[in-house]
Amino acid sequence: MFKKILYFIIFVIIIIIVLNILNLQNDSTDTKTKVNVEKGNPNTLRYLAEKRKFYVGSAVDSNLLRSSSKYTKILGSQLNMIATENEMKFDLIHPQKSKYNFEPADKIIEFAEKNNQVVRGHTLVWANRVPAWVQSGNYNKEQMKQILKQHIQTVVGHYKGKIYAWDVINEAITKDGKLNDSIWLRTIGPEYIQLAFQWAHEADPNALLFYNDNGMENNNKKFNALYRLLKKFKDSNVPIDGIGYQMHSWIARDIDYSNLSNQFQMLRETGLQVQITEMDIGMASPKNESYPSKAQKQAEIYSKVLDTCLKNSNCSAFVMWGITDRYTPKYKPEKPLIFDSEFKPKKSYWSLVNTLKEYNKQKK
């Protein structure tokens, strides 16, 4: 009887040991369901980007810096650049004529400084997010110029030396290549764009100044109009350093990567930098396609855009409009970002890692 009990105990112990070994093997072989988020890890985007003095970043929500430790851990370990998502838009940072609200944006600056990251300030001038006090004030041209100048120089001056690059103008060109209707265009006229760059430069001469927009990669009519405007600025010594390609897209949309590269080359010849500034790739449609298939398509688009950027010397940053599907400002089923809603890396994350690794290997 004693021997039977002993044999049974030994049998149970052997079963437990075997099960533990199998679990360890599963953990070790499924390498692409987990990622070490510690700084300095060679599989992080940040580590790979910094080897080539390149920036990888994400838009950041200041409220989440207070409430989600998983969110902040990924941001700090994976990225060497962050961008303000909403905190520097006119209506939030300057809600009343004589009142500025810097606290939310200050939190992002503090986080960046703590994690040795640079910051993109988004955005100084846009047709949207204009506060009611500006829209309903019935101000004349000179008054509107003064309002805009004071706003730009107060905000840029507050963050002087702390912002690496500003999106000075956001989305001022339509898909037809015309100036987008806005309160700034109606009251000040087309010169508001040039003036905004001049005023921002006066407030912080060391900050890079960008024009930021979406859709140029597949629309040469829009790109050509923008190119003519920015080339005119460069020829006239208007202080502009580059153009931001937002790259909001979706898996069913074709992108002409050769055309995108040609645009980058034209901008380089004009002396302008390029940065990818708001990339996300929606995959809600087509609804009848499997998730693995859609995830693979998303990964390929992320990889190809990054590859196009890396192969053009004037493309200096790759920034996404968020880092995790849990907090995307888009319609949730789009799942447009590189970490899923449980903070696990998706195929899109690994496609970026592998693209950076391949680029670094070629550049040795």
Catalogue the active-site residues: 171, 278
Distances, alpha carbon 85 to alpha carbons 64, 67, 100, 179, in Å: 11, 16, 17, 24
Name the region of 267 (left: φ>0; alpha: ψ -120 to 50; beta: rest). alpha
